[in-house]
Amino acid sequence: MNADPYAKLIADTGPNCGCCDLEDRAFCAGLGSQGSALLRSIRGSARLEAHHTVFREGDAASHIFTVVKGAVKLSKLMADGRRQIVGFLFPGDFFGFGLAGSYTYSAETIIPTSLCRFSERRLASLMEENADLRRRLFGRLVDELGFAQEQMLLLGRMTAREKVAHFLMMLSRRAATRGDSEAVVAVPMSRLDMADYLGLTIETVSRTITTLKKDGLIEVPSPNVVSILKADSLMQIADGNGDE
């Protein structure tokens, strides 16, 4: 699990970028033929098993990644082991922009995952040439910032119940944009990951899910699948308009 993160990132670069079906969900997809051709020329790809570290907080930042398939978590660690997950990534998402040449978070797969990899330097020079790529990347970065601020509101001001409801609805919405069911949602991450994302403990996450279950808002056929029974009620809670 802690092997060289680049061990599998060998140059199995495919002949074209048509290999992923992300349409225009990824910054790098749907660019038009000449843009794609350029991007394809600097692209590397990788298939990683679950729980594989892509890079660690503090590593020299040299590459930008996009998720083609699977799921990735980004996390920050404190000296004493406290952890905060700052993002869960799904197909179409990108990650790897770091401050001052170092990654500011670790990236790990949570299920088997396919990634595309681009040299940051080369991507930067490609951005100089391709306005479309540039605009997409800029827009995604703005989106990302907006999402981070939303998460601040969640972490700073929401109750455990609201946090979990919000999280489940987020998973549902993201599944829908991927074309998956929004009612029966896959929860690929562990309770610990959920807790570290929501600023809670495992126990509180577990208890809160049990409560939502008892309230008839969700069903949990297995720990990694949540069936959303009352999406509207759940959304109300997620938005802070409690249901009491």
Binding at 125: pick from a copy of itself, DNA, none (beta carbon under 5-8 Å per type): none
Stretch in the footprint of a copy of itself (CB under 8 A) among 37-45, 149-157, 207-215, 221-229? 149-157
Residue (126 or 212) nearer to DNA, CB: 212
* Closest residue by Cα to residue 104 from 144, 146, 76: 76
The residue within the footprint of DNA, chosen from 62, 104, 206, 236 (CB under 7 A), is: 206
Query: How near is the Cβ of 50 to a copy of itself at its closest, in Å?
Result: 23
Q: For the purposes of burial, counting CB atoms within 10 Å of the CB of 39, is it exposed (0-12), middle (13-18) or buried (19 or more)?
A: buried
Residue (16 or 125) nearer to a copy of itself, CB: 125
> Which residues make beta-bridge pairs with 219?
227
Residue (145 or 225) nearer to a copy of itself, CB: 145
The residue type of 182 is: E
Binding to DNA in span 148-167, by CB under 7 A: 159-161
Q: How many other CB atoms are found less than 10 A from the CB of residue 86?
A: 16
Residue (104 or 201) nearer to DNA, CB: 201
Computed from CA positions of residues 5, 21, 169, 190, in that sequence, does the dihedral angle turn out positive or negative?
negative
Binding to DNA in span 166-205, by CB under 7 A: 190-192, 199-205
Binding at 206: pick from a copy of itself, DNA, none (beta carbon under 5-8 Å per type): DNA
Q: For binding to DNA (CB under 7 A), which residues are involved? A: 159-161, 190-192, 199-207, 209-210, 220, 222-224
Q: For binding to a copy of itself (CB under 8 A), which residues are involved? A: 74, 76, 78-80, 82-84, 86-87, 97-99, 104-105, 128, 131, 134, 137-138, 141-146, 148-153, 155-157, 196, 198-199, 239-241
